[in-house]
Amino acid sequence: MNIAVTSLNATDNPGPGIPVIRSIKEAEDFKGNIIGLIYDSLEPGIYMKDMAKKCYVIPYPSSGLTHLYDRLAFIHEKEKLDLIIPCLDSELYGFVKLQDKLASIGIKTYLPTIEQLNIRAKDKLFDFCEENGIKAPKNFMLTSLRDIYSIPKEFEYPLVVKGIFYDAYIVNNFEEALSAFNKIKTRWGFPVIVQEYLKGDEFNVVALGDGTGETIGAVAMRKLYITEKGKGWAGTTIDDNILMELSHKVIEKLKWKSGMELEYIKSLKTGEYYLLEINPRFPAWVYLAPSAGQNLPFALVKLAMGEKVEPFTNYNIGTIFVRSSWDLITDMSKFEKIATMGEI
């Protein structure tokens, strides 16, 4: 089996690619190769030993579907890909639109629908939560510079200013809000989201849905250390029935197909959970799941290949992950090869 995985950017803001690869390679039943699909010749995963057998540069999502398909078809001719697992929010729409075309040449995927992606998007999530009795912070959409001067009075500082795909800033006054708005607008475009700020502890759930509303597996984690960018740098698996019931409900209502991450905050004021985001792919901390007893990435592989997978029923509580920085040493010739030839 040849499985292609994207997002090998294991930096201080890591992508999910490397932990997805680690999870798959450590499954007892896996026999095959991993092919890395990369956007930049300095993605650290390229230079990690025993991760990807080969790496290929693919075009950025903004390059259009034709360029992406042509490149994937070229890679398929050389590597005979069985499955592609895209791991970045910004590339998912393109892969979903191409999945039938990829299937026609023998490449499988296991992805949500366009409708599911739209419903859980940051600008639509509040409506989904309100319809289904799930608590979520109030938000306000900014679609032009003029809108930032029209934030409703019920939104009191501090506020959270978020991009449609990535980036979020906690702001304490209008000047900070305007600065965050300009940064996000320049990088990710509109809409920019202003969200009610809730003080409390952050919790995350990594999960896998089968597309029928059933949860194949879910692991809850409490962040122990958060970086300045808001990324969890350490966390521990926890036992929380309310959190799991909420997550099962979200997957059931969405009929989610694929991996996902649900981000919650437990309000210090009310003690209730609020759903902050639904990320439509496995998170960068997904390797904690197989370490605790639920190999969700490999379960996705088996589902994609048409195998029946029995839902996981439990996982080990108190399993901790701690990230570390690690210098990878390589030769300039490797960098030059990937930079000039687009593969290594």
Instruction: Phi first, then psi: give them for residue 311, nearest 5 degrees.
Output: -60, 140
Domain stops at, among 178, 196, 214: 196
Considering the domain architecture, whether residues 70 and 167 belong to the same structural domain is answered as no
pLDDT band of residue 257 (cuts 50, 70, 90) is: very high
Considering the domain architecture, whether residues 86 and 168 belong to the same structural domain is answered as no
Considering the domain architecture, whether residues 10 and 95 belong to the same structural domain is answered as yes
Q: Does residue 294 belong to any structural domain of this protein?
A: no
Report the C-alpha gap between 230 and 13 in whole angstroms. 9
Q: What's the pTM?
A: 0.91
Q: Look at residue 44 in the predicted model and tell me its pLDDT.
A: 94
Distances (CA, A) of 70 to 60, 105, 106, 146, 238: 13, 12, 14, 41, 44
Long-range interactions of 336-343: CB distance < 8 A, separation 24+: 338/38, 338/41, 338/46, 338/55, 338/57, 339/41, 342/56, 342/57, 343/54, 343/55, 343/56, 343/57
Report the C-alpha gap between 199 and 70 in whole angstroms. 47
pLDDT band of residue 229 (cuts 50, 70, 90) is: low
Asked whether residue 95 carries a pLDDT value surpassing 80, the answer given is: yes
Q: Does residue 74 belong to any structural domain of this protein?
A: yes
CATH of the domain at 80: 3.40.50.20
Strand partners, 5: 36, 85
Q: Does residue 40 belong to any structural domain of this protein?
A: yes
Considering the domain architecture, whether residues 103 and 147 belong to the same structural domain is answered as no
pLDDT band of residue 148 (cuts 50, 70, 90) is: confident
User: Minimum mean pLDDT among 30-39, 87-96, 136-145, 286-295: which range?
Assistant: 136-145
Domain stops at, among 148, 168, 196: 196
Q: Supply the mean pLDDT for the chain.
A: 93
Q: Does residue 311 belong to any structural domain of this protein?
A: no
Structure tokens given for 108: 């499988």
Considering the domain architecture, whether residues 63 and 149 belong to the same structural domain is answered as no
Considering the domain architecture, whether residues 102 and 173 belong to the same structural domain is answered as no
CB 329 within 8 A of CB 49: no
Report the C-alpha gap between 318 and 220 in whole angstroms. 11
Domain stops at, among 168, 196, 224: 196
Q: What is the H or E stretch that residue 36 is in?
A: strand 33-38
* DSSP letter assigned to residue 75: H
Considering the domain architecture, whether residues 85 and 31 belong to the same structural domain is answered as yes
Report the C-alpha gap between 189 and 192 in whole angstroms. 7
Q: Which pLDDT tens digit goes with each residue over 233-252? A: 899 999 999 999 999 999 99
Report the C-alpha gap between 154 and 253 in whole angstroms. 30
Q: Does residue 184 belong to any structural domain of this protein?
A: yes
Q: Does residue 289 belong to any structural domain of this protein?
A: no
CB 107 within 8 A of CB 82: yes
Asked whether residue 207 carries a pLDDT value surpassing 80, the answer given is: yes
Q: Does residue 241 belong to any structural domain of this protein?
A: no
Asked whether residue 230 carries a pLDDT value surpassing 80, the answer given is: no
CATH of the domain at 170: 3.30.1490.20
User: Minimum mean pLDDT among 3-17, 168-182, 226-240, 289-303: which range?
Assistant: 226-240
Structure tokens given for 86: 């895209």
* Vertex 142: Cα angle to 141 and 147 (nearest 5): 120
CB 227 within 8 A of CB 285: no
Distance from the first to the final alpha carbon of the chain: 19
Q: Does residue 315 belong to any structural domain of this protein?
A: no
Domain of 92, in residue numbers:
2-108+327-341
Report the C-alpha gap between 273 and 246 in whole angstroms. 9
Number of domains in the chain: 2
Q: Look at residue 294 in the predicted model and tell me its pLDDT.
A: 98
